[in-house]
Structure 1
Amino acid sequence: MDRLGSRCPLPGSTRPSIFICLLILTASLLTYPVLRTLSLQFLSVLTGSYVSGTYSIVFVNCPNEQIARDVARAILDKKLAASVNILPKASSLYYWNGEIEEATEVLLLIKTKTSKIHMLSSYIRLVHPFEIPELFSLPMDQGDVHYLKWLEEGMEEE
């Protein structure tokens, strides 16, 4: 009986078990995005079907077409995306330093894995000339299986 008491907390000592529960809960919340991505990829491989949210489209505005091409090529070279569309002459109106500004910009539509968005965002902030580049993403809900397979292959490391 003495041995059992050394492994199990006594009825009045709940602090260590509460601390452990909080630690496990915190670790679970912090690792959730990674675990979700891995489980979605595993499910996709097992079933051979597309799981919604595995891929995303990232929108980025650039000040001109040359910069847009340079950013797109750099992203593709780093295997952070499989495809980038460059849509010229988007008219933009926005607040900057308390004033309404107007500009003509070039829009990039970047197709990538949702799991690569953090790395992609960090890289774009490094190479983009804007102080705060417009950068947001939307998950792909549906898509042609062959196209999605092509996206996957386009981001594989060689």
Structure 2
Amino acid sequence: MSLRYQQFKNIPLSSIFFDSLRNDYIGFDAWFNKKSDQYAFVSYDKSLDIDGFLYLKIENETIEDTEPKLPQKRRIKLGTFKIDAHDTKMGQRFIRKIIDFAIFHNVDEIYVTIFDKHKSLINLLENCGYLCHVACRKNYW
């Protein structure tokens, strides 16, 4: 596995890796293209196909659609966290990258919006100590 921190504009959006994101999120390609100057962690397999993608964003805002509400604070949002799991430790490696990123940027909170259908990601995050705040039709972890 090769992990690179690269700009969106240098990541092959045409990769079939992104098909499930396109299916789940209308406008995914437009969102991706708007991020052209932003950076993400991208994992490539031995064939140089994408098998993992992690986009982290620093925010400083109130989160009001959770219970309890989260006050304005500098946080890292896991904008996109997707891996093709194949009996590796890639999920744990990405969690480590998230923690390193938070430490480097002096941020104490990390959150993600996640759909209930992503059970394996939810389990990974819970096993790493993330807490669930339920929101209107969304979960913040």
Structure 1 length as normaliser, TM-score? 0.27
Larger Rg: 1
Higher normalized strand content (fraction of residues): 2
Which structure: greater helix fraction?
1
Q: Which has the higher contact order (CA 8 A, sep 6+)?
A: 1
